């Protein structure tokens, strides 16, 4: 059944209750297990996007 929810994100935007956010490479680093997954489209310019995060 593969799909979007089984795909590892390139980065995660971790949020907190204290108005701090952080971009982290692994879901285990996401605070409160609440955040946004950033998944690149397969044709996205990965190297350029990596420099943003």
Q: Is the pLDDT of residue 18 over 50?
A: yes
Token representation of residue 40 = 């690149």
**Alpha helices, H only, 1-53:** 46-52
**CB-based burial of residue 35 (10 Å sphere; 0-12 exposed, 13-18 middle, 19+ buried)?**
buried
Mean pLDDT taken over the chain: 80
Band of the pLDDT at 1, cuts 50, 70, 90?
A: very low
Q: What does pTM read for this prediction?
A: 0.62
Report the distance separating Cα 37 and Cα 6, nearest Å.
Answer: 12
């Amino acid at each position: 059944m593969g799909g979007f929810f089984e795909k590892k994100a390139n980065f995660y935007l971790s949020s907190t209750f204290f108005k701090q956010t952080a971009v982290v490479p692994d879901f285990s680093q996401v605070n409160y297990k609440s955040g946004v997954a950033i998944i690149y489209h397969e044709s996205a310019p990965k190297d350029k996007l990596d420099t943003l995060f």
